[in-house]
Amino acid sequence: MPAIITTDLRLNEPRYASLPNIMKAKKKPLTKITPEELGVDITPRIETLKVEEPAKREGGRKVESVDELLDKLKNEAKVL
């Protein structure tokens, strides 16, 4: 299907409210609506069983050479 798409130079620029519109908005009454009036259930559905801190990290180690680093990564950390 053929389509025509047009864009404007001000596509990504936000539109700011003018002062008269801000003053009009201040005069409008705010109505408070409770969730019960809207028929929405707001009871929590998630139960927190336990909260604990993560384990403390061990200090780092310095190695003297690349070979020693590779050996430690293969044998101790078992990442390679």
Kindly report, residue by residue over 9-60, the tens digit of the pLDDT. 777 888 899 999 999 999 999 899 999 999 999 998 999 999 999 999 888 8
C-alpha 21/C-alpha 37 separation (Å) is 30
Task: Indicate the pTM of the whole model.
Answer: 0.32
pLDDT in the model for residue 26: 93
Is 72:63 a contact under the CB 8 Å cutoff?
yes
pLDDT in the model for residue 52: 94
